[in-house]
Chain A
Amino acid sequence: MPPNSIHLTPEQLAIIESPLDAKIFLEGHAGTGKTTVGVERVLYLLESGIPGNEILLLVPQRTLATPYYEALRSPSTTAGGAVTVLTIGGLAKRMVELFWPLIPTEAGFANPDRPPTFLTLETAQYYMAHLVRPLLDQGYFESITIERNRLYSQIIDNLNKAAVVGFPHTEISQRLKSAWAGDPGQAHVYEDAQHCAHLFRDFCLEHNLLDFSLQLEVFFNHIWPAPICHEYLQESYRHLIVDNLEEDVPVTFDLLRECLPELESGLLIFDLEAGYRRFMGADPQTTYNLKNRCGQQATLFESFSASGEVQNFGYAIAQALLPEEERSSEDINNSSFPIHHSPLDSTRYYPQMLDWIVEQIALLVEDGVPPGEIVVLSSYLSDALRFSLTERLEELKIPAYSHRPSRSLREEPATQALLTLAALAHPQWGLIPSKFDLAYAFIQSIADLDLVRAQLLTDIVYQERSGSLSPFDQIKPETQERITFKLGGRYEAMHAWLEAYTQAPPDQLDHFFSRIFGEVLSQPGFGFHADYDAGEVTANLIESVRKFRWAVGDSLDAESIPLGQEYLRMVDDGVIAAQYIFSWQTQPEDAVFLAPAYTFLMRNRPVEYQFWLDIGSRGWYERIRQPLTHPYVLSRRWDLNRPWTDSDEYDASRDSLYRLVLGLIRRCRSGIYLGLSELGEQGYEHKGLLIRAIDRALRSVNSEQ
């Protein structure tokens, strides 16, 4: 019996304690305790003597493995081997790394005796930019208006879609064209995108570079079929747990279909009415077919997360979102929805709505609700929104943290200071900082230096034409006094360090950042000393540069382009350091969570209270404009030659909102606060599908009363 089975239902226990050779397909809505079953099943296997190293846990995204990690790291878990936790991408990368010496020639790589280089999104985007930029000058993509970086990333996305769906990348344009129902002129844009995808793939094969798409394709086409690799996986992993199968991609389905019969046991967990990662290629309809491949099927019904009232509210909105002919005639027999909304008369403007939200959070916290049980959700979390909310909450001493999937590394003050100092220390790059940038860097770098003194210092010591600095002792004594000798001493220490640096052969850029951070900026008297945020930003910048160097250093060397110069240029262009992943691990444990709705869903943790911001916004369901790609058309289920119409677009939007709303509500135990203002964040009035559905749901109840 599992050690903590006291809280488990008989249905859960029956699945957990299934025979050690059972292959089970478990389905149910969010909040019905499926992941709890998954976690307990792993522990049960371990308790039953199955070595941990024979168990593979597959999840579509690492955040979804958190409950498993917590259980496996608990001291009460049986001693033994470690369970392997992977995503399909992680599995592919690991296998390509291990078995690389066996496959480069047959996989088409030009340098079979050289090791592979794995590309990150940043470095893939860099190479894509490198290849596509000259074509833009030749007129490629001229009929569309889109930021260059989004153009590059959509071409990469097309390659990724081909890999996760499992069709040849050579068919991208054919599929997109066949579904295009608009201006025929668009067709050549898809041809351009196809040509760029070809160029990129050929370049990767020529230089042993593996972006995500190529990692997957090499794994599925060359490694998985090879007997030595197949046997290795077969012998290593005898028991499989897959959670959130509905968020996984078609090639995962292919892999599981093939390997399930060879395994001793399996538990596949499927969340009904979910599938939030469609834009990443998730295909719940396809992966659901694995149900028939399992000898045992089970469904959990009882919700452990949402109260009856909350569920009824969800049901009412869901009904309102369905087309009229699909709506149920069943009565919603609860008139006390646990929802609250901002008063329209006093929240006409967006900031007023934010004030109301923060007030309500404060009241909940005063009533004893832990801040960690509150989330504030929006369709998109802009910097301005993040700042506005955290400021307001900080004033009330309510801990909060935000998690956007990424933050702009180049916008961080510490990054800007470091980049300016790098340019200053490498005059040979010809990237001379402006006086404004240098003054800003001084403020960040020298402790206690204010704007006025920074500007004064910059005006005197900086020769902008040559990009050089002069010593502090050459300044007139009265000006030295104005700046103060203490600050002047700090400036002089930094100046001397830079002088010494420029006299020696230059470091690699990441080493330069490490050195100036350790020897100057983080020393007492300087701006980063004991500043942990600056430390983290610097570490992230260094990591970004290092990966850039490892991926593109040889190519740049061949062209005699200094890597540091190219990196700074790419940062300026927004190709790299535009977005950066900050650690999931450094979250405070009891703080209000501010996040985009989908990020919250992928964290998969219910809370007591949810605040939905700006429910009039269309961002809750509308797709981002993507003129070069299409998540639905480039899916396994889309019929070739069927045009994508406005009606398809509307249905897809409504369907995604339906799933989103149900997903949120099923992760809410006690109550939902709806933030609405007459004018949205951008100052426009919105009355999107969500607010209309909520309105309809509330009116239906009111009319029953």
Chain B
Amino acid sequence: MRDNLQHSTFNLPTGFVFSQSSLQDYVDCQRRFQLRYIQQRAWPAIEAEPAMDTELYMQRGSQFHHMAHQYWLGIPAEKIARQVEGDEVLSRWWQNFVGSKDFGSLVKHSDDSDEENSRSLKPLPEISLSAPIGDLRIMAKYDLLILQTLRVSEEDLAHDDTSENPKGLNATIYDWKTSRKQPNREWLIHRLQTRVYPYLLAQAGAQLNGGEPFKPEQIEMIYWYTDFPDQPARFPYSQQQFDEDEAYLTGLLAEIKSMGEEDAPLAEDERRCRFCVYRSLCNRGVEAGPLEEAEGDWEVEEGFELELDFDDIAEIEY
């Protein structure tokens, strides 16, 4: 039997893979991380009020991710739009997406076969990457990765001996954000997602780049807001940021590994507890907080709906 199949790190479930959201949970509240990921406790309280608005918010976010995925697979935008004709919010987001200057230009160029344009684009929607950090593993699911080839002359290539301004393949990470307000840049900088996504692409993206790892300077992370199409938040990556992120993530994972069996400390900022389902377990409140205060924090992923399909019922007697 392979050794690594027997691997089990401290008290995390076997095969546990970290993501930006589980790491963010740890940073926000160690107890929440412990309950959610180590002990895997289901605790189905309301997350934010009104409950129906929260559900709609999550559903729309999920639906938008799905539509963008369909778009990049080549399904005509107007056919996709028809599916949400009755939903004013989703229709608006979709119009913003299709008509976005920033983003629309990329879409336009993706079909451009003009040699003189001297660049080509390869969209990779909903792609996942993972890599080990020490004896743990971390993964990310990207809403969209755009690889852009700059066709440079051989002469340019011969002189390209620096990593300061590399030419060749650039990688842009797009992450769709469906919140009704745009968080400030400083807040975004400190989100685990802003650190994990570009870091992981640099670490695990070699197979997308002809076997060569992306240099950090080739990577840019963009949060694209469905209600603010002209104000994407751009985060160019750098070697310095990569080094800082590596040190930070390595330290963070080492800290998580040192967690004991006892109840982990609760969040210092009790305001977070209003949006945490475990609040009753921690004696940190009764009612959920308002959605408009919470939504910036939430990551809506495609597949919000819990999976349960025929495979699960394989053994039920008929």
* Contacts from A to B (Cβ < 8 Å): 3-4, 7, 36, 39-40, 49-53, 61-62, 67, 69-71, 73-77, 79-82, 87, 89-90, 93, 97-102, 112-115, 118, 120-121, 150, 153-154, 157, 160, 212, 228, 232, 277, 279-280, 405-406, 507-508, 511, 513-515, 517-519, 522-524, 529-530, 532, 535-536, 538-540, 542-543, 547, 550, 579, 581, 585-586, 589, 596, 598-599, 602, 624, 626, 629
Within 8 A of A (CB), among B8-61: 8, 13-17, 39-46, 51-52, 55
Within 8 A of A (CB), among B265-307: 277, 279-281, 283, 286-288, 305-306
Give complex CA distance A51, B82 in Å.
Answer: 35
Task: Pick the contact of A101: B14, B70, B130, B283 (CB < 8 A).
Answer: B70
Complex interface: chain B residues within 8 A of A153 (CB) = 318
Tell me whether A511 and B132 are in contact (CB under 8 A): no
Give complex CA distance A93, B309 in Å.
Answer: 9
Interface flags, B208-222, vs A, CB<8A=1, else 0: 100100000000000
Q: Which 3 A-B pairs have the closest CB atoms?
A: A518-B45, A79-B131, A405-B315
Tell me whether B1 and A507 are in contact (CB under 8 A): no
Complex interface: chain B residues within 8 A of A53 (CB) = 127-128
Give A304's nearest chain B residue, CB to CB.
Answer: B1
Task: Pick the contact of A98: B73, B207, B315, B317 (CB < 8 A).
Answer: B73
Complex interface: chain B residues within 8 A of A67 (CB) = 5
Determine, out of B134-142, B173-181, B182-190, the stretch whose residues face the partner at the interface.
Answer: B134-142
Tell me whether B318 and A626 are in contact (CB under 8 A): yes
Give complex CA distance A77, B204 in Å.
Answer: 11
Give A584's nearest chain B residue, CB to CB.
Answer: B312
Tell me whether A511 and B52 are in contact (CB under 8 A): yes
Task: Pick the contact of B207: A81, A405, A530, A599 (CB < 8 A).
Answer: A81
Give A550's nearest chain B residue, CB to CB.
Answer: B305
Tell me whether B318 and A49 are in contact (CB under 8 A): no
Give complex CA distance A80, B211 in Å.
Answer: 10
Tell me whether B69 and A518 are in contact (CB under 8 A): no
- From B1, B70, B127, B318, name the one whose CB has the most chain A CB atoms within 10 angstroms: B318
Tell me whether A405 and B316 are in contact (CB under 8 A): yes
Number of A-B pairs, beta carbon distance below 8 Å:
223
Task: Pick the contact of A100: B83, B204, B308, B314 (CB < 8 A).
Answer: B83
Tell me whether A581 and B313 are in contact (CB under 8 A): yes
Give A404's nearest chain B residue, CB to CB.
Answer: B315
Interface flags, B64-89, vs A, CB<8A=1, else 0: 00100110011110011011110000
Nearest CB on B from A501, distance (A): 13
Tell me whether A212 and B310 are in contact (CB under 8 A): yes
Give complex CA distance A75, B131 in Å.
Answer: 7
Nearest CB on A from B108, distance (A): 20
Tell me whether B42 and A539 are in contact (CB under 8 A): yes
With A76-B3, A80-B205, A602-B314 known, 13 other A-B pairs at CB within 8 A are A4-B2, A49-B207, A51-B208, A75-B4, A75-B7, A80-B207, A81-B204, A98-B70, A120-B308, A523-B286, A535-B42, A539-B42, A624-B318
Tell me whether A87 and B311 are in contact (CB under 8 A): yes
Tell me whether A585 and B13 are in contact (CB under 8 A): yes
Q: Cβ of B226 < 8 Å from any Cβ of A?
A: no
Tell me whether A596 and B315 are in contact (CB under 8 A): yes
Nearest CB on B from A528, distance (A): 9
Task: Pick the contact of B315: A115, A532, A602 (CB < 8 A).
Answer: A602
Give complex CA distance A472, B98 in Å.
Answer: 60
Asked, given contacts A74-B4, A120-B308, whether A518 binds B277 with beta carbons under 8 Å apart, the answer is: yes
Give complex CA distance A73, B136 in Å.
Answer: 9
Give complex CA distance A93, B307 in Å.
Answer: 11
Tell me whether A228 and B74 are in contact (CB under 8 A): yes
Give complex CA distance A624, B14 in Å.
Answer: 37
Nearest CB on B from A221, distance (A): 18
Tell me whether A121 and B310 are in contact (CB under 8 A): yes
Q: Cβ of B259 < 8 Å from any Cβ of A?
A: no
Nearest CB on A from B238, distance (A): 20
Tell me whether B310 and A160 are in contact (CB under 8 A): yes
Complex interface: chain A residues within 8 A of B85 (CB) = 113
Q: Cβ of B129 < 8 Å from any Cβ of A?
A: yes
Complex interface: chain A residues within 8 A of B51 (CB) = 507-508, 511, 514-515
Tell me whether B5 and A74 are in contact (CB under 8 A): yes
Nearest CB on A from B179, distance (A): 22
Nearest CB on A from B206, distance (A): 7
Classify the interface of chain A: helix, strand, loop or mixed.
helix
What are 18 A-B pairs with beta-carbon distances under 8 A?
A62-B312, A74-B7, A75-B132, A80-B131, A80-B207, A81-B207, A82-B130, A101-B76, A101-B80, A101-B83, A518-B277, A522-B45, A523-B280, A538-B44, A540-B42, A550-B305, A581-B313, A624-B317
Q: Cβ of B172 < 8 Å from any Cβ of A?
A: no
Nearest CB on A from B120, distance (A): 16
Q: Cβ of B193 < 8 Å from any Cβ of A?
A: no
Tell me whether B52 and A71 are in contact (CB under 8 A): no
Give complex CA distance A90, B203 in Å.
Answer: 30
Nearest CB on A from B284, distance (A): 11
Give complex CA distance A685, B7 in Å.
Answer: 47
Give complex CA distance A76, B137 in Å.
Answer: 9
- From A36, A76, A89, A602, name the one whose CB has the most chain B CB atoms within 10 angstroms: A76
Complex interface: chain A residues within 8 A of B8 (CB) = 589
Complex interface: chain B residues within 8 A of A157 (CB) = 318
Give complex CA distance A529, B311 in Å.
Answer: 33
Nearest CB on B from A176, distance (A): 14
Tell me whether A73 and B211 are in contact (CB under 8 A): no
Nearest CB on B from A153, distance (A): 5
Nearest CB on B from A667, distance (A): 15
Give A277's nearest chain B residue, CB to CB.
Answer: B314
Complex interface: chain B residues within 8 A of A514 (CB) = 44-46, 51
Tell me whether B318 and A150 are in contact (CB under 8 A): yes
Task: Pick the contact of A81: B13, B128, B279, B280 (CB < 8 A).
Answer: B128
Tell me whether B281 and A530 are in contact (CB under 8 A): yes
Tell me whether A73 and B280 are in contact (CB under 8 A): no
Within 8 A of A (CB), among B98-150: 127-137, 139
Complex interface: chain B residues within 8 A of A538 (CB) = 42, 44
Tell me whether B137 and A75 are in contact (CB under 8 A): yes
Tell me whether B311 and A89 are in contact (CB under 8 A): yes
Nearest CB on A from B121, distance (A): 16
Complex interface: chain B residues within 8 A of A629 (CB) = 318
Complex interface: chain A residues within 8 A of B41 (CB) = 532, 535-536
Nearest CB on B from A370, distance (A): 13
Give complex CA distance A511, B53 in Å.
Answer: 11
Asked, given contacts A157-B318, A518-B277, A581-B312, whether A79 binds B42 with beta carbons under 8 Å apart, the answer is: no
Complex interface: chain B residues within 8 A of A579 (CB) = 313, 316
Complex interface: chain A residues within 8 A of B288 (CB) = 518
Nearest CB on B from A631, distance (A): 9
Complex interface: chain B residues within 8 A of A79 (CB) = 129-132, 203-204, 206
Give complex CA distance A74, B136 in Å.
Answer: 8
Tell me whether B4 and A515 are in contact (CB under 8 A): no
Nearest CB on B from A41, distance (A): 13
Complex interface: chain A residues within 8 A of B130 (CB) = 79-80, 82
Tell me whether B44 and A73 are in contact (CB under 8 A): no
Nearest CB on B from A179, distance (A): 18
Give complex CA distance A536, B206 in Å.
Answer: 41
Give complex CA distance A100, B193 in Å.
Answer: 31
Task: Pick the contact of B309: A4, A82, A120, A585 (CB < 8 A).
Answer: A120
Give complex CA distance A586, B66 in Å.
Answer: 29
Tell me whether B46 and A4 are in contact (CB under 8 A): no
Give complex CA distance A212, B206 in Å.
Answer: 38
Give complex CA distance A471, B288 in Å.
Answer: 26
Give complex CA distance A52, B124 in Å.
Answer: 14
Complex interface: chain A residues within 8 A of B318 (CB) = 150, 153-154, 157, 279, 624, 626, 629
Give B81's nearest chain A residue, CB to CB.
Answer: A101
Tell me whether A547 and B308 are in contact (CB under 8 A): yes
